[in-house]
Amino acid sequence: MGEIVLAIETSCDETSVAVVRDKKILGLSISSQIDIHREFGGVVPEIASRKHIEAILPVMDDAMEQADISFKDIDLVAATQGPGLIGALLVGISAAKSLAIALDIPIVAVNHMKGHIAANYIENDLEPPYVALVVSGGHTYLIEVLSYTEMKLRGRTRDDAAGEAYDKIGRRMGLPYPGGPVIDRLAKNGKDIYNFPRVIMDGYDFSFSGLKTAVINKIHEFEQRGEDFSKEDMATSFQEAVVDVLVEKTFQLIDESKLDKVAISGGVSANSRLQERMKEVGKEKGVQIFFPSPIYSTDNAAMIGVEGLLKYKAEGGSDLSFRAMPNLGLGDYEK
């Protein structure tokens, strides 16, 4: 039958609990705080922690009800250890530790970014090795995934994450938070007319802050002249630049590594243009492209459960004294 994992994710602004058996999702509940943070134009850490405390038990009940099991059926508890907001992480970790103690079962500390990568195992027959591009609100990683538990980090952003650039530009354009999905929608009806810079660095690192500044300066110029501009064209011009860089670097690593699969994940992997371009170039080069359904691409506990079980099977459980690690990197677990 396989082990049943109860997984908890509270690293940012989604409180989520999942009940997972291997790759099968028996229950998944997500309570998003986005509407609350929208008023402030971004996530307010203190509010996030309080809202996690309010939501964690109802969300857990919901996931358990969907799974239709009782607490004694659970074999393992998984919780996001980091990276994320310290106060937010602590809510999920405390709930997970309490459960592990009460039920006398093992606990496993999960790296949120590895969770995003594992989201691709839920619906796809994806097996390592492959190239993973993880693009979220806080991180941009290009990785060679060698096995289910070993990965080589090849590139990361030197400044803004891809999603962060989307959100900051969205805010400057007066769009609701988070800007990513709104820009994605606007860009469908615009033209790439501004020719914003594509910053292609040596190696596999990324830099998006120059692009972000170029877009913000362009908006500023229009405002100074008292002229209107097409939000659609601005969105398309920005998005084409981001997607060009992400696609170029990913396939550069495909060429170097001779791998033939790419799995994208993280919130920005829901971007329709990124998916479209990845599939186009993938088809040209004979490379298979994977990405999760939208529910598994943004923050959710199902991916934490799947990654938690993989880690548990490879390394065993974590010590109950494990701490929240807001800046946890890749391959940097604290046991």
Is the dihedral angle over the CA atoms 54, 60, 62, 65 positive or is it negative?
negative
Q: Using an 8 Å Cβ cutoff, are 297 and 291 in contact? A: yes
Q: Residue 144 or 167: which CB sits closer to ligand KG4?
A: 167
Footprint on residues 132-191 left by ligand KG4 (CB under 6 A): 136-138, 163, 166-167, 178-181, 184
User: Residue 181 binds which entry of ligand KG4, Zn ion, none, with Cβ cut-offs from 5 to 8 Å by kind?
Assistant: ligand KG4
The CA-based diameter of the chain, rounded to the nearest angstrom, is 67
Q: For residue 82, state whether it binds ligand KG4 (rule: CB under 6 A).
A: no
The window from 27-35, 53-61, 248-256, 268-276 that contacts ligand KG4 (CB under 6 A) reads 268-276
In this chain, which of 27, 82, 266, 317 binds ligand KG4, going by CB under 6 A? 266
Q: 4 vs 328, which CB is nearer to ligand KG4?
A: 328
Q: Is the dihedral of CA 87, 90, 95, 98 positive or negative?
A: negative
CA distances from 119 to 43, 132, 165, 199, 271 (A): 23, 11, 23, 29, 16
- Give the contact letters, 283-302, x = binds to ligand KG4 (CB under 6 A), - = no: ---------------xx---
Binding-site string for Zn ion from residue 123 to residue 152, where x marks contact by CB under 5 A and - marks none: -------------x----------------
Q: Taking CB under 5 A as the rule, does residue 164 contact Zn ion?
A: no
* Using rule CB under 5 A, residue 299 touches Zn ion: yes
Please spell the DSSP secondary structure of 22-44, one letter per residue: TTEEEEEEEEE-HHHHHTTTS--
Phi and psi angles of residue 2, each rounded to the nearest 5 degrees, phi first = 90, 155
Burial of 107 (0-12, 13-18, 19+ CB in 10 A): buried
Q: Which residues bind ligand KG4 (CB under 6 A)?
A: 12, 136-138, 163, 166-167, 178-181, 184, 266-268, 270-271, 298-299
